[in-house]
Structure 1
Amino acid sequence: MDVQTQNEITRVAVRAAQQMLAWGAESDLVEDIGQRMGRAFGMDSVELSISANALVMTTLFEGRCVTTTRRLREHGLNMHMVCEIQRICVQSEKGILDLAAASRRLKRLTPWTWNRWAVVAIIGPSCAAFAHFFGADLAGCLITALAASVGMVVRQSLARRHFNVLINWAVTAFIATLVTRIGGLVEWTQTPEIASAACVLMLVPGFPMINAVADMVKGHYNVGIARWGQATLMTISAAIGITLAMQLTGLGWL
């Protein structure tokens, strides 16, 4: 194997690891996929160092090392992308894909997403169901569904315009809470506080929190702490939006 081939194998392996991390995979899985991709194409060993915003990979073949660094640009959470990269890795290990084919597949990957209006249609009733479980009346459940749906439209619109995620969370929480607070002001519902609590459940950063704990449990403390910090800031941003809406309407937790 010549140096050029080893360089290309390193590029393919680090690209797979980079995309896995960017799309929300836990660090242990990222490390595993990067190493397996390298070994699938003939490397003796692959070493991968993961930090909060960068990857460093070294491939070793017959005593010759190639090291490369890639900066991480987060894309959000998309398990479709994670599964597709794992599929490419498995097919490479089985010999179904050669190096060139794997490289092309990785470059052509595009995230699959739900239709935005289908998401809105799902989120509204979901938050309304939580409001019902919490004891809200029928009007409170309907207001929760409306507030969550409006909030999701706002969240999607801000995300499409590439607003900072913290601003997105604060504005979305503010709008959703404001809708439920208005419902309380005009006395459409007797349980506006339950509606206010349920309509923002779509903003709970559960996946980043789970990944953060998983990373720290498995020894990836730097990435785990970074993810934990991001999830905490998202929660604080949502709390700020909720508080501003409550202050604007003059209603606290009734």
Structure 2
Amino acid sequence: MDPHQRLAKQSGVVMRFGRLLLSAGASSYRVKASMARMARAVGIEEHRASVSFSDIATTAYANGTFRTELYENRTFGVNANRIDQLKELSHNLHDDMAAEDLEEELDKIESQGPLYGPVVNALASGIACAGFCFLNKGGLYECLAVLIAATFGQALRRITLHRKFNHFAVWLLCGVLASSIYIGAIEAMGAMGILNVAQNQAGLISAILFLIPGFPMTTAILDLVRMDFPSALTRTSYVLAVMASAGVAVWGVTYASGWDLNVQVNHPMPWWLLITLRFFCSFIAAWGFAILFNTPWKVCAVAATIGASVNTLRTIAVDNHFPWHAAVGAAALAIGLLAAAVAAKTYYSRVSLSVPAVVIMIPGVPFYRAVTAMNNGLVTDAIAQVVQVFFVITAIGFGLAIARMVTDTRWIVDTPTDKLPTLESSSRKYIR
């Protein structure tokens, strides 16, 4: 085969591998490192890649020639199952593999559809947000209204995203629908005399928490720690854009309905029952988000157990006047260490295990309240809420980053990802 044609095949399969990882939501470092492993496996002598949230540019050198390829990513979704399968393929690479054989493996992975149908996907969103509602001090009727609103909101999001709608528009439409349904449900319960409408308005924020882009938010933090600035900045821009879109939707609906989201009512209960419900609601919230990320049910169970255990301990620490931000950072560190321990014994990726567990600690409520305050001209209140969000997200990032550094020397020693690794045939047995 002509050297140029051979390199085209070698470079093409490596680019496809990176494209599948990026479109599944993997971080820039994982994409570049995995592409470097495959490049070595197919015989490429030198491989360089630049990866952002929306683009991949690669140059491959082999056979006395070189080839440069560009890819534009327009799929900004999350597919944890695909990330795990590609991770397993990456760890089983060895020298002198044929590009054609790897193309067949990638065909099998790419041909797999979603693990969960539209009904399960929508209900997972509703259940997760209902659990969030309790963790945000919501009562029974608020949680029920959130369950209904978030279920229909996620159903609309799935339909529109599958039709390639603009993400900014999707978050706006879903925010309007979910918040409108919540308001309608609470107003209907109030009309029937079941509850006091004025005391159940704060739960509205929980009804749209399924719109928090937890996966890209977390990978943006990890990219920033790795100093992959193009990817970190583009992911952060995406996160801010879609969250602002949802925040504007909430503000518009609440302004039209005259609701005040700052009303908060406590629901006292015995301590043992409170802790039990916190664990249960943390579990279903993490499980629900794991399903939204297309995570296999076994991984969902592990991630939910990790998240529920650590988050319950975090809430107890905060109840005992431990600083909120420090508690979140310590919890993120614990989650990262537990995820690393499980990932070392299985084919599951750390990100599939840690993101559903930490996403339940991301403060969506202060962010949406900040947008509402800003639109109402309450600049000081908005800044105060944004500062809270910033410190909590920073704490999550520091916790996960420290966990990575403790368990992976590649995060301590800054090795260029274009340095092709030495591959060995893997005899590792992965637990499915």
Fold shared by both chains (TM-score > 0.5): yes
Note closer, same or farther for the CA distance 1:99–1:194 as it changes in structure 2 (3 Å cut). same
C-alpha contact 1:92 1:102 (8 A) present in aligned 2: no
Counterpart-to-counterpart distance in 2, 1:19 and 1:219: 22
| RMSD between aligned residues | 2.1
Counterpart-to-counterpart distance in 1, 2:70 and 2:125: 39
C-alpha contact 2:18 2:31 (8 A) present in aligned 1: yes
Counterpart-to-counterpart distance in 2, 1:169 and 1:204: 10
Range moving further from structure 2, 15-24 or 227-236: 15-24
The size of the alignment, in residue pairs, is 253
Counterpart-to-counterpart distance in 2, 1:83 and 1:135: 35
Output one character per residue of 1:145-202: Cα deviation in whole Å (capped at 9) or x when no partner.
1111121222222223322111111111111111222234341433422320211111
C-alpha contact 1:55 1:70 (8 A) present in aligned 2: yes
**1:12 CA displacement:** 0.8
Secondary structure of the structure 2 residue equivalent to 1:189: coil
Note closer, same or farther for the CA distance 1:27–1:181 as it changes in structure 2 (3 Å cut). same
C-alpha contact 2:37 2:93 (8 A) present in aligned 1: no
- Note if 1:230 corresponds to 2:238: yes
C-alpha contact 1:181 1:192 (8 A) present in aligned 2: no
Output one character per residue of 1:49-96: Cα deviation in whole Å (capped at 9) or x when no partner.
22443222222236532222222232511122222223333344266x
- Note if 1:214 corresponds to 2:222: yes
Paired position in structure 2 for 1:9? 10
Q: Write out the 4+ residue segments of structure 1 that deviate beyond 4 Å after TM superposition.
A: none
What one-letter code is carried by the residue in structure 2 that aligns with 1:243? Answer: W
From 189, 194, 202, give the equivalent of 2:202.
194
**1:111 CA displacement:** 4.5
Counterpart-to-counterpart distance in 1, 2:74 and 2:182: 36
| 1:1-254 matched pairs, under 5 angstroms | 2-61=3-62, 63-93=64-94, 98-108=98-108, 109-113=110-114, 114-186=116-188, 187=190, 188-190=194-196, 191-253=199-261, 254=263
**1:233 CA displacement:** 0.6
C-alpha contact 1:154 1:172 (8 A) present in aligned 2: yes
Counterpart-to-counterpart distance in 1, 2:83 and 2:137: 38
Secondary structure of the structure 2 residue equivalent to 1:93: coil
C-alpha contact 1:213 1:224 (8 A) present in aligned 2: yes
Range moving further from structure 2, 188-197 or 74-83: 188-197
Note closer, same or farther for the CA distance 1:171–1:73 as it changes in structure 2 (3 Å cut). closer
Output one character per residue of 1:85-128: Cα deviation in whole Å (capped at 9) or x when no partner.
23333344266x63212113324513532111012222222222
Q: Aligned residues: percent identity?
A: 21
What one-letter code is carried by the residue in structure 1 that aligns with 2:178? Answer: A
Secondary structure of the structure 2 residue equivalent to 1:193: coil
